[in-house]
């Protein structure tokens, strides 16, 4: 911008000369050098009211600007609103559900709108909403067979199995209470299905003290290999309530579990989702249950009545 040097007429009152400089920084710097040669030793830098500029005055005195004042430009206010990830489709589905009023007839529209919203929610959390998908509930009687131990001593005790339940044996001796009651049975799951949940139902008598161990696992083991199984679903039932109980759980793997890669997964890695997928050609799936009374008094009655596995095929 070309520089403009204007001598103010109002300076005669104070016997000082006031210069208004409108220029870029380089021109102002050159003006300062020129002014210093004429004896000016002090400068005051301010902003012009009308438009950006610099007022340079001898003696540090501030004089009025020659330009007509104008309103300053409006400030740029930073938008501080929190940005949320909004699922517009899900919002529309939920808001479209009709609100029932007393006396209104509930029509098919209510059901269908609610069904669409539930499908949207299921899709949002990763469940399959394919219309051809089938939700299967597989119920198994706890037919626990004896489990072989790697150690020769102490050997495991077996569950007392009847048609519809498995109960711990009558433990009276201290040596028996320190042994583990263990058993397991193979489950046949739909090939290619996704394991969603497992439910354990049973009963604990009121007089039974808290055992040292009471666990139920859904395991996966590679066919034809003698290796430790991968525990897909784990239950710790030591603190179950008295009387009839029902516990449910889903597939949860630790970081250590995910580091266990088989030959097919070694190159591509694995995820919890992949471990949920049933592959009967390669894996055997089975449920195990272990109980140990420890040093407590003899256990009266703890039973497992059924095992249910929920899958989406």
Angle, helix 108-124 to helix 88-95, in steps of 10 degrees:
150
pLDDT in tens, 203-233: 998 766 788 899 999 999 999 888 888 899 9
| Range with lowest mean pLDDT among 28-42, 112-126, 241-255 | 28-42
Look-up: residue for tokens 């997964």?
265
Provide the CATH number for the domain formed by 135-312 in this structure: 2.60.120
Task: In whole angstroms, give the CA distance from residue 313 to residue 305.
Answer: 26
pLDDT at 278: 93
Task: In whole angstroms, give the CA distance from residue 205 to residue 282.
Answer: 40
Mean pLDDT of 177-201: 92
pLDDT at 248: 94
Mean pLDDT of 171-185: 84
pLDDT at 53: 46
Mean pLDDT of 83-104: 74
pLDDT at 46: 56
The three-class DSSP label of residue 115 is helix
Residue 296 has pLDDT above 50, yes or no: yes
Residue 39 has pLDDT above 70, yes or no: no
Residue 94, token pair as written in the block:
């939920």
Task: In whole angstroms, give the CA distance from residue 231 to residue 216.
Answer: 10
Please provide the DSSP assignment of 274-285 as one string.
HHHB--TTTEEE
The domain segmentation of the chain, as residue ranges, is 5-60, 135-312
Q: Is the peptide bond before 138 cis (omega within 30 degrees of 0)?
A: no
Residue 152 has pLDDT above 60, yes or no: no
Report the percent of the chain where pLDDT is more than 70: 61
Computed over every residue of the chain, the mean pLDDT equals: 74
In contact, 283 and 223? CB cutoff 8 Å: yes
| Range with lowest mean pLDDT among 213-217, 248-252, 273-277 | 273-277
pLDDT top residue among 59 and 306: 306
Look-up: residue for tokens 């299905």?
193
pLDDT at 85: 44
Chain centroid offset of residue 79 CA = 28
């Amino acid at each position: 911008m070309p520089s403009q040097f204007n001598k103010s007429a109002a300076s005669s009152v104070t016997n000082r000369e006031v210069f208004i400089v409108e220029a870029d920084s380089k021109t102002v710097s050159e003006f300062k050098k020129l002014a210093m040669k004429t004896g000016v030793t002090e400068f005051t830098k301010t902003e012009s009211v009308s438009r950006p500029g610099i007022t340079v005055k001898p003696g540090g005195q501030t004089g009025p600007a020659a330009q007509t004042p104008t309103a300053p430009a409006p400030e740029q206010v930073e938008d501080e609103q929190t940005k949320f990830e909004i699922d517009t489709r899900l919002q529309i589905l939920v808001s479209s559900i009709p609100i029932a009023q007393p006396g209104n007839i509930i029509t098919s529209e209510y059901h269908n709108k609610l069904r669409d919203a539930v499908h949207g929610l299921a899709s949002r959390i990763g469940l399959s909403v394919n219309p051809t998908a089938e939700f299967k509930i597989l119920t198994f009687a706890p037919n626990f067979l004896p489990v072989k131990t790697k150690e020769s001593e102490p050997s495991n005790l077996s569950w007392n199995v009847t048609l519809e339940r498995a109960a711990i044996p009558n433990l009276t001796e201290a040596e028996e209470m320190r042994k583990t009651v263990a058993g397991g049975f193979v489950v046949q799951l739909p090939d290619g299905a996704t394991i969603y949940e497992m439910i354990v139902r049973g009963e604990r008598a009121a007089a039974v003290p808290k055992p040292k161990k009471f666990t139920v696992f859904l395991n996966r083991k590679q066919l034809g290999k003698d290796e430790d199984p991968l525990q897909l679903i784990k239950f710790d039932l030591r603190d179950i309530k008295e009387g009839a109980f029902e516990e449910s759980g889903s597939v949860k793997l630790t970081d250590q579990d995910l580091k266990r890669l088989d030959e097919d997964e070694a190159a591509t890695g694995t995820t919890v989702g992949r471990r949920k997928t049933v592959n009967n050609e390669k894996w055997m799936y089975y449920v195990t249950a272990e109980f140990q009374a420890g040093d407590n008094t003899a256990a009266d009655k703890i039973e497992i009545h059924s095992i249910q596995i929920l899958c989406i095929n």
